[in-house]
Structure 1
């Protein structure tokens, strides 16, 4: 049970991916927030504990995912007698989060974007540049291909940059974190992998077109946390975007983090969320 009082501010956490549900990770690394907030994960449609095989005619788009979040927020507010939530979106989840702020600002007390998507095309261009400069022409060509090979190279770079401080996604360490949680067994872990695969297959093309760079204001406060070593969604893009906003905002860089500052520096993350939201 979440030890926070019933009237504590609600945090709704939107995982990345698409499809990469992460309840065991937030339980392990972000439990400190449960003393002051009602911290709630949403395993998105077809992901994690919400896994089901997508029907061929099932509508799975960014818009449908945002509306799923919207309906879930309304249910939370009714259940806890509150009028707004604190929304945290990580990576892919930051697309849904920022869309929620755009569409339903009255429901959002504030928004925190982790590894925020600003422009996927711009992020991919920076990946290519980084690959050519840091890895040389041969390995750099991997990054220039907009596919999974780039993610492997980028992950290795993050691990080496911080002496292995990053979460070893896809490794035995992450698998055991899931299996030690009360919510997962081998069968559910397999469904988790299926959820990632089907979500990416349905949403990848649309995700590549996402671009918030023309947005200059929001009707709710927005905060962005980027890891210094994030090569997936570079903080330079996020900082430039934040600097151009005319509405309340803040950009924060975590110097010992990559793409997952909430798990690379969990103590600092908890302190930052409390300072921003309480």
Structure 2
């Protein structure tokens, strides 16, 4: 009875505290309060863990990474974000929740993007924003990760534009990887653009949306020939493709994900303010070149392959990626369809993303002995 009484006393005290808080104006009242709450919720306290953001010297400039791990004995997972310039670090508090329990997760703000943009003089960096330089940066970062965390092999996950970096890296350096994980994988960019335009026009006609039909007609024939697509034409196609749900399933755009940048505990107020300016620079310098990419020549990989594709992705055609997957040879390969997603599948179905990483990627590291002992979990 004494124990029951003590529990009742504690419950009364807790209830009183909650009621007192409820009488105050509900918070958070500003970004600082919101960020503090999120940072505390995701704080890593495990003695074998690590939680840090740091500046590295890569490709002659300062570039930022974040590292999160509940146990550094777990395999390293390097995330190559999309865009160009669509940084993943500031939204990873949401979409990558729980990943650090099974992997040492590295988020990287690429050259000209996010925190890396703010850390350098844009006028100096702008001329270096080339596809070739980005490939070199990615290779340099993988070398850093392997050395820093004492890993012979790591996982690389590339999303969208990052999947072009990632698949190229997997082709050139399979000995560095446990497996390559392609998310919204890019293969034949021009064919993807053509299919995206055709699907969007089909939706516009079905909806009898005269403005969309007129805009899409104005850039036809689209993605035909060898010349790079003008950025203005790409953005016009994307405006309507997004509107009809080709980037985020049954949503008019991906602003729901972009808004999460404002709540990032990894970003300062100034970095939040600059993130979209940085993306504009990356798009201006890189997008046309990126959309000439053609990786159909990759017929065989010497590392294991995992693809995550959104069933409704027309931003970077999931059907083009699936057709390539059917023919490519690899030591093992796995395709996972996200049925309620388009292009932003990690944010659209975050639970399935985590479960798929645990089911399909982590066992590869387990077989290689690159995981924390079971007793540590």
Taking structure 1 as the reference length, the TM-score comes to: 0.91
Match of 1:228? 311
Any idea what the Cα deviations from partners look like across 1:212-270, whole Å, max 9, x if unmatched? Answer: 11221111111111111111012111110000112232222110001011111111110
Match of 1:12? 78
Match of 1:24? 90
Match of 1:155? 242
For the residues of structure 2 that align with 1:161 and 1:63, how far apart are their CA atoms?
Answer: 29
* Residue of structure 1 aligned with 2:215, choices 136, 142, 146: 142
Match of 1:192? 275
- Contact 2:248-2:348 at 8 Å conserved across structures: no
Any idea what the Cα deviations from partners look like across 1:110-166, whole Å, max 9, x if unmatched? Answer: 1111111111100111022112322128424534633212222222222898554x8
Residue 307 of structure 2 aligns to a residue whose secondary structure is strand
Look at both structures and tell me which one has the larger radius of gyration over its CA atoms. Answer: 2
Deviation at 1:208, TM superposition (A): 1.8
For the residues of structure 2 that align with 1:10 and 1:132, how far apart are their CA atoms?
Answer: 42
For the residues of structure 2 that align with 1:195 and 1:162, how far apart are their CA atoms?
Answer: 26
* Residue of structure 1 aligned with 2:359, choices 268, 275, 278: 275
Q: Cα RMSD over matched residues?
A: 2.2
Structure 2 unmatched ranges of 5 or more:
1-50, 52-67, 220-232, 363-377
Q: How many pairs were matched up? A: 274
Q: 1:97-136 to 2 correspondence within 5 Å?
A: 97-136=166-205
> Residues 214 and 111 (structure 1 numbering): CA distance in 2 closer, same or farther, change over 3 Å?
same
For the residues of structure 1 that align with 2:267 and 2:198, how far apart are their CA atoms?
Answer: 39
Structure 1 unmatched ranges of 5 or more:
none
Deviation at 1:59, TM superposition (A): 2.4
Taking structure 2 as the reference length, the TM-score comes to: 0.68
Deviation at 1:205, TM superposition (A): 2.4
The higher relative CO (CA closer than 8 Å, separation ≥ 6) is in 1
